[in-house]
Structure 1
Amino acid sequence: MKELLRNFNPCNFICMRMFNYFKKKLNLDPLQLEKLYLGIMVIMFNVLEFVVVFVVAFYIGVIKEALLFFIMFASIRCTAAGVHCKNNLACMAITLTSYIGASYISVKYPINCSLACIICVICAVLLCKYSPADTEKRPILGAKHRKKLKIQTTIMSSILILINLLLLNKSIFNLTMFALILETLSVLPWSYKLFKASYNNYKKYEVV
């Protein structure tokens, strides 16, 4: 009994229960079942990841800032994409460090708006140059599609900077700066080398 409890993984248990439920309800082939299970695993990990992040943020009193950081980062990430960690533990560590670190520093030790603006503009230029950056599992196919994502990323980055120039709130400007820095780092070719990940994966499928 002790050995059973020691090896019990609540996430895997919940994932298997959900998987078995949908398996009975849906008529899927083996490949679709594999995709279903992987999808459930991804959703469960993301839920767990954000629960941990926001519990820590609530504990240290920066939950509003962490939520705002998430919204700004996600608004750029969804079009710019970028490198992913190869294991869940590293992903959790980077997410927790970046969300909590950015929120805490923005509240306690913000830099002035002028410097934050300069850094944001530099990041926006780099994002325009290097985004979208795909992954080996999710290559971004189609030149028109990549161009569309690049334009959307540039527009969103510009909108975030413009909003901050209108508000001139030091904490929010710093949160925006950190969101842009984090996303910029995730699309740079050097980051792919650091994580030993394949870069420009669409070239494997397209004649460029």
Structure 2
Amino acid sequence: MTHTFTLFILEKLRAQNFMTEEEFENVQYSLEILLINILKSIQVYFISFLFGLLFETFIMNLAYVLLRWHANGWHAKSSIACSLFGIATFVGIPFVLQETSFTLSTPWMLILSGIILLCVFLYAPADTEKNPLVSVSERKKKKLFALISAFSIICVSLVLVGAQVGTLLIIGLLVEILMIHPLFYKLNKRSYKNYENYQIQP
């Protein structure tokens, strides 16, 4: 209902020339992603609540979302696949960590932190077929903010080394790194660097 009403308002704005066709498509895509993410988040957090993992899921998901905000990345093709991925990742991993009492040691935290920063520098931001990042300046800005986000979260995780919170933060970042890696795109048979199919904008 909310999605239909939102599209109705956007159509009205476009009809009255308050919004170009390109602006309409960008806003529509962003709203669709927002609404989908809200629905998926409700599902994930409800299940994590049932398992008594609400805090752990939140911490891991927070690191993931803060980096993904700027790094972008792979999207599942279907709603069901997206839901299953979210539940398996943000409920399944915290569940395993809790059951095994696993935490990353300082050397592993440092090694993984280096890998994360290198991958962000090399591959962020990653686009999709539906949302190609055509603007060079936008890609540069997103890369910069992605690096700042990753570095900030890593600093917090290193302060909390030995605690499960620090481990959850690093793993949350690693999940997002997987989402922007070209090998992951290739394994899922999805096109990478979609902006190259368009005329480059400054």
Question: Deviations for 1:121-177, whole angstroms, at most 9, x for unmatched residues?
Answer: 212211211111011111112222212211211121111111122232421121122
Give the direction of change, closer, same or farther, for the CA distance of 1:106–1:120 in structure 2 (3 Å limit): farther
From 15, 23, 26, give the equivalent of 2:8.
Answer: 23
Aligned to 2:18: none
From 182, 185, 203, give the equivalent of 2:178.
Answer: 185
Structure 1 stretch displaced more, 92-101 or 136-145: 136-145
Gaps of at least 5 residues in structure 2 are 16-20
Aligned to 1:157: 150
1:1-208 equivalence runs, <5 A: 14-15=1-2, 19-20=4-5, 23=8, 27-28=12-13, 42-109=33-100, 110-114=102-106, 115-207=108-200
Q: CA deviation at 1:78?
A: 0.7
Q: CA deviation at 1:120?
A: 2.7
Structure 1 stretch displaced more, 26-35 or 131-140: 26-35
The TM-score, its normalising length taken from structure 1, stands at 0.79
Q: CA deviation at 1:27?
A: 2.8
Taking the aligned partners of 2:7 and 2:184, their CA distance within structure 1 comes to: 38
Q: CA deviation at 1:200?
A: 0.4
How many pairs are equivalent?
193
Taking the aligned partners of 1:98 and 1:38, their CA distance within structure 2 comes to: 24
Taking the aligned partners of 2:28 and 2:144, their CA distance within structure 1 comes to: 34
The TM-score, its normalising length taken from structure 2, stands at 0.81
Question: Deviations for 1:45-85, whole angstroms, at most 9, x for unmatched residues?
Answer: 33321121111111111101111122111110011111111
Gaps of at least 5 residues in structure 1 are 1-13
Taking the aligned partners of 2:76 and 2:144, their CA distance within structure 1 comes to: 26
> What secondary structure is seen at the aligned counterpart in 1 of 2:128?
coil
Taking the aligned partners of 1:70 and 1:147, their CA distance within structure 2 comes to: 25
Confirm or deny: 8 A CA contact 1:106 1:172 kept in the other structure. Answer: no
Taking the aligned partners of 1:20 and 1:150, their CA distance within structure 2 comes to: 34
Confirm or deny: 8 A CA contact 2:7 2:28 kept in the other structure. Answer: no
Q: Which runs of 4+ in 1 moved over 3 A?
A: 20-26, 28-45
Structure 1 stretch displaced more, 104-113 or 52-61: 104-113
> What secondary structure is seen at the aligned counterpart in 2 of 1:27?
helix
